[in-house]
A = this chain, B = another copy of it.
Amino acid sequence: MGVNRVCIVTDQVVGQLPGMSALLNSVNHENITYSVYDSVRTEPTDTSFMDVIRFAKEGQFDAFVAFGGGSVIDSCKAANLYSSNVNADFFDYVDAPIGRGMNVTHTLKPLIAIPTTAGTGSETTGLAVFDYEANAAKTVIRSRAITPLIGIIDPFNVMSMPTSVATYTGFDVLCHALESYTTVPYNERRPRPLNPRDRPTYQGSNPVSDVWARHALNIAAKYFRRAVKDNDDTEARSQMQLASCFAGIGFGCAGVHLCHALSYPISGKVKTFRPKDYQVDYPLVPHGLSVVITAPAVFHFTSSACPDRHLEAAQILGADTTNVRREDAGRVLSDTLRQFMYDLGIEDGLEALGYTTADIPALVQRTVPQVRRYRSVVLSTVIPEFRYAIMY
């Protein structure tokens, strides 16, 4: 690529992995100068984004490499975006209504993403998610311009994931696939754009995203439990890493819906919850956990919109759907998900994350802007979802 000076972004945990040494050896071998930023925050915030952006601006880099999970890759995307246009205000590219949602018109530097988890699919998408602290809710920077140029999907980088990381990130994959498969189809969204090129990045489910969603579900059905139960199961972990990437290609153009919309305040308003195996000194609801915790309630609710797809998903995930009535599709898919969650020892509902019924109004209030964005539900439907989600 003719690169001379590269910014390597990682965090203090994955920065110690053997893959990091391989990366540095490779860069040294090509006589490329580099600086390492290893202070990415797990579940990044606007403050932590600002810090890596400052580092990137000072370094005057001509390429970026992200080595880590979704938090690292997303932080690296932000660093690339803002350091390539020093005149931009941070909120210019943050989604409305929090930011201005402006189109990216400047040219970014090449970004190579090397995922060390098997969940976000961030190596395939034009999204960078962060907690906006003032609102205690996640929001997003969304532009095809920040999509990594290359993703390097190397199974050796996910062999070291602790059990709980493999679990939560795996549920993120499952929800990416299920949500993108059941979201509003691209040709049923209203109002229709006058020109197909004006479709948003998240254009709704479509014949291409459907292929990836179904394929990711098939992989997860076969390998998710194995990848969690045996840290040394190379085949299962490789396959889940592919599923993460494939589901990312799918939802990256189709979009996600309620599980993700509801997850943003669940993680943003965290009080005291600290997940096992995460080496952080602050309360944290890992993204995959905040997403899947409402999933049984969500798919029970959404099934009436496309029961056949809910039934097909349940069947792929192992449910016996012979003689199941279409009106029971949501129940069957929810039960199948609950079984996965139970088998893999996921926390038991919102209560286990430290929330009570009294928190619902605040969670709802911070979900509504997300839901508007996804256009798939209206306010009246959000409240019951949280109620159900208190106990999945």
Contacts and interface: CB of A to CB of B under 8 A. Distances in A.
A360 interface: no
A246 B215 CA distance: 14
A211 interface: yes
A246 B242 CA distance: 19
A29 to B, nearest CB: 11
Contacts of A215: 211
Interface in A158-214: 207, 211-212
Interface in A199-246: 207, 211-212, 215, 242, 246
Contacts of A211: 211-212, 215, 246
Interface in A267-294: none
A212 B242 CA distance: 15
A212 B212 CA distance: 10
A242 B210 CA distance: 13
Nearest to A212: B211
Contacts of A207: 242
Nearest to A214: B215
Interface string A72-84: 0000000000000
A136 B207 CA distance: 40
A248 to B, nearest CB: 13
Nearest to A249: B208
Contacts of A242: 207
Nearest to A210: B215
A156 to B, nearest CB: 14
Interface in A124-181: none
A211 B245 CA distance: 13
Interface in A78-117: none
A212 B246 CA distance: 12
A312 to B, nearest CB: 13
A242 B206 CA distance: 12
Interface string A28-65: 00000000000000000000000000000000000000
A360 B246 CA distance: 45
Interface string A366-390: 0000000000000000000000000
A150 to B, nearest CB: 9
A212 B215 CA distance: 10
A194 to B, nearest CB: 12
5 contacts: A207-B242, A211-B211, A211-B212, A211-B215, A211-B246
Interface of A: 207, 211-212, 215, 242, 246
Which 5 pairs across A and B sit closest by C-beta, in order of nearness?
A211-B215, A207-B242, A211-B211, A211-B246, A211-B212
